[in-house]
Amino acid sequence: MSQLRIAGGVVHDPLNGVNGDVRDICIDGGRIVDDVSPASPRIDARGMVVMPGGVDIHAHVASGSVNLARRLLPEQHEKDPVLAPVLPDGEPPTRSGTGGTVPTTFTTGYRYAGLGYTTVFDAAVAPVLARLSHAELDDTPIVDAGFFVLMGNDAYLLRLIAAGERESAREYAAWLLGAAGGYAIKIVNPGGIELWKRGSRGLTELDTSIGATSVTPRAIIETLVDAAGSLGLPHPAHIHCNNLGLAGNVTTTLESMRATRGQRAHFTHLQFHSYARGPDGERRSGAREIIEYVNAHPEISADVGQVLFGPAATLTADAPVEFLLHKSSGRKWLNVDIELETGCGIVPHTYKEASAVAALQWVVGLELFLLSADPWRVVLSTDHPNGGSFLAYPELIRLLMDRAYRSEQLERVNQRLLAGSALADGITREYTLNEIAIVTRAGPARLLGLRHKGHLGIGADADLVVYTTDANRARMFATPRYVVKGGALVVEEGQLRRVPTGHRLHVRPAHDAAVERDLRAYFSRYSAVSFENYPVGALRDAPFPLIKDR
Amino acid sequence: MAFEGGVNAVPLPHSPANGGEARRDRLPSLERVVSAVTCLGCGCMCDDIEVVVRGERIVEARNACQLGVTWFGDGVVPASARVAGRETSIEEALAVAARLLGRSARVLVYLAPDISCETQKEGIALADALRGALDSVTSATAMSSVLAAQEQGRASATLGEIRNRADLVVFWGVDPAMRYPRYWTRYAPEPAGLHVPAGRRSRTVVAVDIGDSRAPADADLRVALSEEDEVATLTALGALFSGAVSLEDWHFLATPWAHARALVPVLRAARYAVVVADAEASAGGDSGRASALVALTQLLNGSVRCALSTLRAGGNRSGAESVATWQTGFPAAVDFARGYPRYRPYDGAAAHRLARGEIDAVFVVGAAGLIPGALQSMMKAVPCVVAGPRASESDLAAVDVVIDTGVAGIHEGGTAIRMDDVPLPLRPTLSGSPEATAVVRNLGNLVRRSRPRQPGGETGPMTRTGTPESAR
């Protein structure tokens, strides 16, 4: 790979304490180096902003469920056609596709890169469908990518917890990560999806019994948080709490955070889990209570799952939520109960400024951002495509950086449920460019344990973005001037120029072979897939090192 | 800990039956047993088959049903490459095929059965590069259920969930014994599951006969409908189940309502109901049935849980839909004429385009013999290239270019997708046949080299702000 010098840019590299300093960034062999030959190609970045490539900690881009959402939404694809990008001669053929809120795989790769994002994680993959995620990621160019493995309603795991065998549960989690080729442990509505499959319609609280009395959401969280820690996974358990979106779920969310007992844990799309209950029984903002807890607990990290006005596709393993949304909105509804593991629900949705609930959701997300004391631990996401498309990130950045613009937008939305909310009372904070660099790159990379990403220090992956400065931050972040991925210049003058293949980010923790013996028997008794056919097998890229192996 | 291939080579003692034969392979008298092989004989995709290979032939497919045994056969396939009926090398056949497709203005790429997802990917890439039309067997056999699910969504479950949870199984106008023989024993109602520990005895089976389409004999309740009453019965069931019409007060005794009244108490008593229907039977003109099934099974999710299990035929048909969906956004009937995919399920499936004379060349990839006969006839009428298993023995054997390949899952590995969208690996048990994936990839490379670059797109998304404008 060739050498390259990004010369004279205003560099934001918060991990290395670089905050708007003018300096050169040198690249050789796909990595950041100290210096390159003066004869190397150079990009004149004077007056422009240079940041590491974006890292998306939580999106839905490549899974069996994502593909079911694609199939469900032909009307969105028909409205957003994408021609194959034209590359210079000698580059491999590119592919056409369609966009909408759930774009086709090639288009997903092109658009992420075009936005300056170079690393993406799919947040919810049922292990029995993992093979599909790898196949879709094989067709998602440019970005490095991985996925999180759904475990919070896994029937075998629940059996181990019921039997009090938490060590075996840890070994099973290790086996499952390797079998799926995943990167981290994901918990979605722990136990609640199993209850949905059983026809329960009640709330799922932390001590609700899931079949056996010893199996509760609390026990599931404890078991998997412990497992992630003791296995030395680069990313802690990634938790989507119970009772998503319901009035009063603040209590559930706080109780879930306490259930981690001081260990590292990541709480995802916090916006959907920060609802107080008003005297009328309706939702109110509970953002302050939640974020104050997060601020005071350094072991907790979060992404926001901001809602942006416009079309979205709600798509989640939390199938009971989608049933309720379908019943309340009347929009089309897809549900798939996934064997012995999890669920999948999909409902298209539109967040409207005129809707009181959508306005409240929008406000709660912004409050979480603006009241967060530590941008390293509260990072940016829209839970793409749930809160809005990843293409809405620039709009979100503008809302965070531009108070006047934010106030203008706030005035346009339905005020009915906003009384007493912090944002309505006026929050003056504006994110700085450095803070944006933290919540979109440096922070997520650190939370994911990606030591070579999210920064521009010597030895880091040469993933970086050059932006033309623009007072309109949405425009600035939507249209990078240059994007470099792994040392290759993929976007030049705003145009896609190269389409390299991304790397697969996955872990393969060792596990006690004894776990496989019992699993074989379990598979032959209950599974509709042979034990031998369940693991995805060897992947092209080597497994990512565990913390203890570093 | 990576799974290392699952091929358990089990050498057996010398067998006098074939000991005297001179064979090319080094170990002529040995049998190999390959376990956990996935069968593409139907959409059940049973992956517990033990294939016994002696020499270069399959001699047994243990655990397979009759359909599966037939699908595996002895694994012997022709290995011919022909141009205008003349035997030639694969290289020459590919070169001629590339010229033929490259000079055509409106190519149809048709994904026939018995190819892997990897081959399907290559076929779709070719359609994209040629700005052609893309279609698969789905549009001719199962489109009404695809469209119904796109219009309304659907309530469904993977087959393993049905195995472990369904306590009520309603066979709606289908007996799986005919075309999905192991559905009964592998998924429901026979096997014991986590929540149905006594298997068949833990489950209630309802057989709904519709006209001549008989449901299984072993049923706890049987209802016989005429075809004319089918959709009316489905909607009446919904009305009664939801309480929109009161079961107690209703005295309208038209047959659909009478049938519905008989079924409602059984549905209400269920914890987890599954309605099993054959999507492949819905060849066309009956979207009322597919839609009504989707609507009813969604509606049954209230006080009980319910899933619709749509049966799909073999050869990785669901794979063609899945791959087309992640690459184009649409499951079948795709048109790349404008340089990007458009969805034309109502007037742009292969049959429509061929009938209107819009296609000037066809590229079939997959088992041509499994394409509906009427389509094959239309394909023969235009310049045509066929690459796939048993191409030279099919009714399309006389077309311009014919290239035999191996069969996915017998001679070639890769991935296939079960009728419930669960992916499974394919384990080749025999070698030596040209791999379809490589054949189509090579053809694609040749075609791209022979055609000038099409005017493509600017990288539009990078010039947009916020949510995609077109999606607003």
Q: Nearest Cα to A84, choosing from A70, A71, A94?
A: A94
Q: What percentage of chain A exceeds 90 in pLDDT?
A: 95
Lowest mean pLDDT segment, chosen from B123-127, B150-154, B463-467: B463-467
Chain B within 8 Å of A535 (Cβ-Cβ)? yes
Distance CA A341, CA B318 (A): 21
Looking at the complex, report in whole angstroms how far the Cα of residue A183 sits from the nearest Cα belonging to chain B. 15
Would you state the pLDDT for residue B18?
34
How do residues A221-231 score in pLDDT, each as one tens digit? 999 999 999 99
In this prediction, residue B255 carries a pLDDT of 83
pLDDT band at A212 (very low <50, low <70, confident <90, very high): confident
Q: How large a percentage of chain B has pLDDT more than 70?
A: 87
Q: What is the DSSP letter of A93?
A: P
Q: Which residue on chain B is closest to A477 by alpha carbon?
A: B465
Burial letters A446-479, b for 16+ CB under 10 A, else e: bbbbbbebbbbeeebbbbbbbbeeeeebbbbbbb
Mean pLDDT, range A497-524, rounded to an integer:
96
What's the rounded Cα separation, in Å, for the pair B153 and A344?
A: 12
Confidence bin at A424 (pLDDT 50/70/90): confident
- CA B309/CA B39 separation, integer angstroms: 19
Asked if B80 reaches chain A (Cβ–Cβ under 8 Å), the answer is no
Q: In whole angstroms, give the CA distance from residue A423 to residue B80.
A: 72
Question: What per-residue confidence (pLDDT) applies to B248?
Answer: 74
Distance from C-alpha of A195 to C-alpha of A342, rounded to nearest angstrom: 11
CA–CA separation, B180 and A502 (whole Å): 40
The encoded tokens of residue B139 equal 């549009």
Chain A CB contacts of B441 below 8 Å: none
Strands A333-338 and A342-351: antiparallel
- Comparing CA positions, the residue from B393, B395, B387 lying closest to residue B412 is B387
Q: In chain B, pLDDT over 90 holds for what percent of residues?
A: 81
Closest CA to B130 of B341, B368, B322: B341
* pTM (predicted TM-score): 0.95
A468: contact with B, CB 8 A cutoff: no
Asked if the C-beta of B336 comes within 8 angstroms of chain A's C-beta atoms, the answer is yes
d(CA B190, CA B22): 46
Confidence of residue A524 (pLDDT cuts 50, 70, 90): very high
- The DSSP bridge partners found for residue B272 are B305
In this structure, chain B runs to a length of 472
Question: If you measure CA to CA, which chain B residue comes closest to A479?
Answer: B462
Partners of residue B426 on adjacent β-strands: B414
CB atoms A336 and B456 under 8 Å:
no
Is the Cβ pair B150, A323 closer than 8 Å? no
For residue B186, name the pLDDT band (cuts at 50, 70, 90): very high
Q: Which of A93, A139, A474 sits opposite B129 (nearest CB)?
A: A93
Chain B interface disruption, residue of A153, A336, A341, A466, most B CBs within 10 A: A336
Q: What is the pLDDT of residue B23?
A: 38
Mean pLDDT for A230-245 is 98
- pLDDT for B261-299, tens place per residue? 899 999 999 999 999 999 987 544 566 999 999 999 999
Tell me the shortest Cα–Cα distance from A4 to chain B, in angstroms: 23
Residue of B nearest to A65 (CA): B421
Alpha helices for B342-406 (secondary structure H) = 350-355, 373-380
Would you call B47 and A178 a contact, using CB atoms and an 8 Å cutoff? no
Neighbours of B32 (CB within 10 A): 18
Q: Would you call B341 an interface residue with chain A, using a CB distance cutoff of 8 Å?
A: yes
pLDDT of B447 > 50? The answer is: yes
Distance between CA atoms of residues A119 and B365, nearest Å: 35
Is A129 in Cβ contact with B462 (below 8 Å)? no
* pLDDT for the residue numbered B30: 85
Are A529 and B470 an interchain contact pair (Cβ–Cβ within 8 Å)?
A: no
Q: Assign B456 a pLDDT band (cuts: 50, 70, 90).
A: low
Q: Do residues A76 and A315 touch, judged by C-beta distance below 8 A?
A: no
The CA-based angle B218-B219-B220, given to 5 degrees, is 135
Euclidean distance between CA atoms B30 and B23, whole angstroms: 11
B150 and A326: CB-CB below 8 Å?
no
| A215 Cα distance to chain centroid | 28
**Residues within 8 A of A (CB atoms), B 106-135 only:** 117, 121, 125, 128-129
Judged by a CB distance cut-off of 8 A, whether residue B246 touches chain A is no
Q: Does A546 touch chain B (CB under 8 A)?
A: no
Measured between alpha carbons, how far is B342 from B334 in angstroms, rounded to an integer? 6
* B424 reaches A (C-beta below 8 A): yes
**Average pLDDT along chain A:** 96
DSSP states of B263-280:
HHHHHHH-SEEEEEEEGG
Q: Please give the average per-residue pLDDT across B225-234, as a whole number.
A: 93
Average per-residue pLDDT for chain B: 89
Contact of B339 with B456, CB cutoff 8 Å: yes
* Residue among A262, A168, A176, A251 at smallest CA distance from A222: A262
Q: Which amino acid is at A346?
A: I
Query: Which DSSP string corresponds to A498-514?
Result: --PPPPEE-------TH
- Residue A356: band (very low, low, confident or very high) from pLDDT cuts 50, 70, 90: very high
Q: What is the pLDDT of residue B157?
A: 98
Is residue A79 within 8 angstroms of chain B, CB to CB? yes
| Number of other residues whose CB lies within 10 A of the CB of residue B121 | 23
Residue A482 has pLDDT above 90, yes or no: yes
Search chain A and give the residue with CA nearest B426. A533
CA distance A242 to A188: 7
- Among the partner-chain residues B121, B158, B423, the one whose CB lies closest to the CB of A339 is B158
Which is higher by pLDDT, A509 or A212?
Answer: A509
Q: Chain B: nearest CA to A253, how far in angstroms? A: 27
pLDDT of residue B24: 42
Interface test with B, best of A334, A400, A467 (most B CBs within 10 A): A334
Could you tell me if the ipTM is greater than 0.95? yes
pLDDT greater than 60 at residue B455? no
A77, A310, A531 ranked by CB distance to B467: nearest: A310
Chain B residue numbers with beta carbons less than 8 Å from the beta carbon of A96 are 128, 328, 336, 339-341, 457
Q: Which residues of B371-398 are buried (b: 16+ CB within 10 A; e: fewer)?
A: beeebbebbeebbbbbbbbbbbebebbe
Task: Say how far apart CA A147 and CA A253 lie, in whole Å.
Answer: 23
Which pLDDT does position B257 carry in this prediction? 87
CA distance B215 to chain A (A): 23
Mean pLDDT check: name the lowest of A87-101, A277-291, B428-442: A87-101
Query: What are the φ and ψ backbone dihedral angles of B137, each rounded to 5 degrees?
Result: -60, -25
User: Residues of A with CB below 8 A from B150's CB?
Assistant: 71-72, 74
* Nearest residue in chain B measured CA to CA from A313: B471
Over residues A466-475, the pLDDT tens digits come to 999 999 999 9
Q: What does the pLDDT read at residue B230?
A: 94
Instruction: Say how far apart CA A464 and CA A484 lie, in whole Å.
Output: 5
Q: How many CB atoms lie within 10 A of CB A218?
A: 18
**3-class secondary-structure state, position A399:** helix
A136: closest CA among B343, B246, B415? Answer: B415
Q: Looking at the predicted structure, is the pLDDT value of residue B346 above 60?
A: yes
* Of B32-46, B63-77, B399-413, B455-469, minimum mean pLDDT range: B455-469
Q: What is the mean pLDDT of residues B323-347?
A: 97
Model confidence at B6: pLDDT above 80: no
Among the partner residues B3, B153, B330, nearest to A74 by beta-carbon distance = B330
**Which one is predicted more confidently, A291 or A423?**
A291
Contact B153 A508 (CB under 8 A): no
Enumerate the H helices of A141-298 as residue ranges. 155-162, 166-180, 192-197, 217-231, 250-258, 287-296
Burial zone of A30 (CB within 10 Å; 0-12 exposed, 13-18 middle, 19+ buried): middle
Tell me how far apart the alpha carbons of residues B226 and B209 are, in angstroms, rounded to a whole number.
8
- H or E element, residue A244: none
| Residue numbers in B near A515 (CB within 8 A) | none
Contact present, A241 and A249 (Cβ < 8 Å): yes
Mean pLDDT of A356-383: 98
DSSP codes, B377-446: HHHHTS-EEEEEETGGGSTTTTSSEEEEE--BTTTB-EEEE-TTS-EEEE------SPPHHHHHHHHHHH
Per-residue pLDDT band for B453 (boundaries 50, 70, 90) equals low
Nearest residue of chain A to residue B48 (CA atoms) = A530
**Which has more pLDDT, A411 or B303?**
A411
- Dmax (CA) for chain A in angstroms is 70
pLDDT of residue B27: 52
**Residues B328, A494: C-beta atoms closer than 8 Å:** no
Instruction: Please tell me the distance from the alpha carbon of residue A27 to that of residue B288, in angstroms, as a whole number.
Output: 61
Q: Identify all chain B residues contacting A395, using CB atoms and an 8 Å cutoff.
A: 465-467
CA distance A479 to chain B (A): 5
Which of B35, B156, B423 is opposite residue A132, by nearest beta carbon? B423
**Contact at 8 Å (CB) between B121 and B264?**
no
Instruction: Name the residue with tokens 């076929």.
Output: B123
* B7 has a chain A CB within 8 A of its CB: no
Question: How many residues does the structure list for chain A?
Answer: 550
Give the pLDDT of residue B250: 65
pLDDT greater than 60 at residue B472 = no
Q: Which residues of A touch B51 (CB under 8 A)?
A: none
% pLDDT > 70, chain A: 99
Mutate to test the interface with B, among A60, A61, A70 (most CBs of B within 10 A): A70
B471 touches chain A (CB under 8 A): yes
A62 alpha carbon, distance to own chain's centre: 12
- pLDDT band of B459, cuts 50, 70, 90: very low
Mean pLDDT over B429-453 rounds to 91
A&B contacts, CB < 8 Å: 301
User: pLDDT band for position B247 (50/70/90)?
Assistant: confident
pLDDT in tens, B133-170: 999 999 999 999 999 999 999 999 999 999 999 999 99
Which of B163, B193, B328 is facing A97, going by the closest CB pair? B328
pLDDT at B29: 63
The minimum CA-CA distance between B415 and chain A, rounded to whole Å, is 8
